[in-house]
Amino acid sequence: MAMLNSLGFILGTTLMYATPLLFTSLGGVMSENSGVVNIGLEGMMTFGAFAAATVGYFSGNPWLGFLAGGLASGFLGFLHALACVTFAANQVVSGIAINFLGPGLALFLSRKFFDGATMTYNLPIEMKMPKYFNNMLPEGTFVRQVLNQDISVFMAFTLVLLIWFLLYRTKLGLRIRAVGEHPKAADTLGVNVSRIRYLCVILSGVFAGFGGASMSLAVASNFFQTLISGQGFIALAAMIFGKWKPHGAMVACLIFGCAQAMTIFIGGTGLRVPQEFLSMAPYILTLVILMGFVGRAVAPASDGIPYIKDES
């Protein structure tokens, strides 16, 4: 029973940790499959977390907040697309810019709306993302321990399915991947490379924003300066780890979340492991897994290369 309880806790916590990463990672999957490197996920996630918490607070509706988080980051995604697609920018540089702009704007606006504070006001529980399954699952059972999650968790995993389906089973997905692999080939067949890249990069912002929103509206109940601190980069790593595939990213996020959950679990047992070593474990684990099991990851062939029509 105790074993099952522990397992329930670890799985449940894994899901909680993985969710914001997963949304953001899927954002990365979208953008990079269309051939645009998005290192600005961190900035987008931060801005999304802020916008979600703010709109959530003022509207009292978590769904509006969640959407606003996506839209706000979608705006940053638009900027990134503008630079990378229209102006053929160096995509890494533009991403770095987003990483300064996102948090900068978030904190600046936060001070404007929240009385000089770099954090938003706390949301009461009824203004947070709901837990629909809370009451359906019987109290104290294993299933409940695992699945007693915010709705955002289920949304993230549904999104994995949707994006997998989109990329590998639909017309649009075929075109997205074609544009990421060989934009010129797609162009010669009348596929509008710019439009598809715009769409994907903006969507990548939207998903990163959802990732941020699932932090500020579900895991926590407000936005503050260090809420995201590095998760966007972890999500980026997870996407590479997952070989640029939605299901791969999901596995990577789960592994990462599980490492975090294990950290907490071990910290709660009597084992005298220094706190710092527990905290660094997930990162070491990720490196070890990359060394041993994954091998060389292959990005979409044209990932990171601007497509310039007239200079072939």
Partner 1 sequence: MGKFIKRLFSGTIGVTIFSIVIAFIMGGAILLLAGYNPVQVYMVMIEGVFGKPKNMAWSVIKATPLIITGLSVAFAFRTGLFNIGAEGQFIVGSTVAALFGYYLHLPPLIHIPLVFVGGAFAGGCWGSIAGYLKARFGIHEVISTIMLNWIALYGHNYVVGMPGFARRTNISCDIQDSACITLFKNWKFSEVGRTWFGAHPILRDIFKTPLNSGFLVAVLLVILVWYILNRTTLGYRLRAVGFNKDAAEFGGINVKKSIVLSMFIAGMLGGAAGALQVMGVARNISTLAAMEGYGFDGIAIALIGNNSAFGCLFAGLLFGALKFGGARIQSPPVRAPMEIINIMIGTIVFFIAIPRLIRMIIRWREKRKGDGDA
Partner 2 sequence: MADVDFTHTTVEMRGIVKKFGSLVANDHIDLTVHKGEVHALLGENGAGKTTLMNVLYGLYQPNSGEIFIKGDKVEVTNPNIAISRGIGMVHQHFMLIPPFTVTQNIILGKETSGPFGVLDIQKAAEEVKAISEQYDLYVDPDQKIEDISVGMQQRVEILKALYRNADILILDEPTAVLTPQEIREFITIIRNLTFQGKTVILITHKLREIKQAADYCTIIRRGKRIDTVEVEKTTEQELASMMVGRSVSFYVKKEARIPGEAILQVKDLVVRDNRNLKAVDGLSLEVRKGEILGLAGVDGNGQKELVEALTGLRRVESGGIFVHERDVTNRDPRDIIDSKVCTIPEDRQKRGLVSDFTVEENIILENFDRKPFSSRGVLNFQAIRDYAGKLIDTFQISPPDGTVRAGTLSGGNQQKVIIAREVSNDPDLLIASQPTRGLDVGAIEYVHSSLVAQRDKDKAVLLVSLELDEIMDLSDRIAVIYEGKIVGIVNAVDADENTLGLMMAGGGQENG
Partner 3 sequence: MIRKTGVLLLAVMLLAPFAGPAFAKDMKAAMVTDVGGINDQSFNQSAWAGMERVRDELGIEVVYMESNQEADYAPNLETLYDQENDLIWGIGFMMGDKVREAAEINPEQKYACIDMFYQDPPKNLVGVNFKEQECAFLVGYIAGKMSKVNKVGFVGGMDFDVIHRFHYGFMAGVKTANPECEVLVQYAGAFDDVTKGKSIANQMYQKGADIVFHAAGFTGTGVIEAAKENNRYAIGVDMDQNFLAPDNVITSAVKRVDNGIFNVTRDLKEGKFAGGGNVVYGLAEGGVDIAPTSDKHVPKAILDEVALLKKDVISGKVKVPANKTEYEEVFK
Helix 246-268 vs helix 2-33: crossing angle, to nearest 10: 150
Q: How many CB atoms lie within 10 A of CB 96?
A: 15
Q: Which stretch binds partner 2 (CB under 8 A): 143-151, 176-184, 232-240, 246-254?
A: 176-184
| Interface with partner 2, residue 178, by CB under 8 A | yes
Least Å from the CB of residue 72 to partner 3: 20
Phi-psi category of residue 88: left, alpha or beta, with phi > 0 → left and psi -120 to 50 → alpha: left
Alpha-carbon torsion 17, 23, 29, 35, what sign?
Answer: negative
**What are the angstrom distances between the C-alpha of 145 and each of 126, 150, 206, 219, 269?**
21, 12, 30, 16, 19
Q: CB of 232 within 8 A of CB of 73?
A: no
Q: Please, which residue, 269 or 312, has the CB nearer to partner 3?
A: 269
Least Å from the CB of residue 179 to partner 2: 10
Query: How far, in Å, CA of 192 to CA of 155, rounded?
Result: 30
Q: Please, which residue, 80 or 177, has the CB nearer to partner 2?
A: 177
Of 170, 172, 279, 284, the residue at the interface with partner 3 (CB under 8 A) is 279
Q: Which stretch binds partner 3 (CB under 8 A): 114-122, 157-165, 177-185, 242-250?
A: 114-122
Interaction partner, residue 184 (partner 3, partner 1, partner 2, none; CB < 5-8 Å by kind) = partner 2
Residues at the site binding partner 3, with contacts judged by CB under 8 A: 5, 8-9, 12-13, 16-17, 114-119, 122, 124-125, 131, 145, 215, 219-222, 224-227, 229, 260-261, 264-265, 267-268, 275-276, 278-279
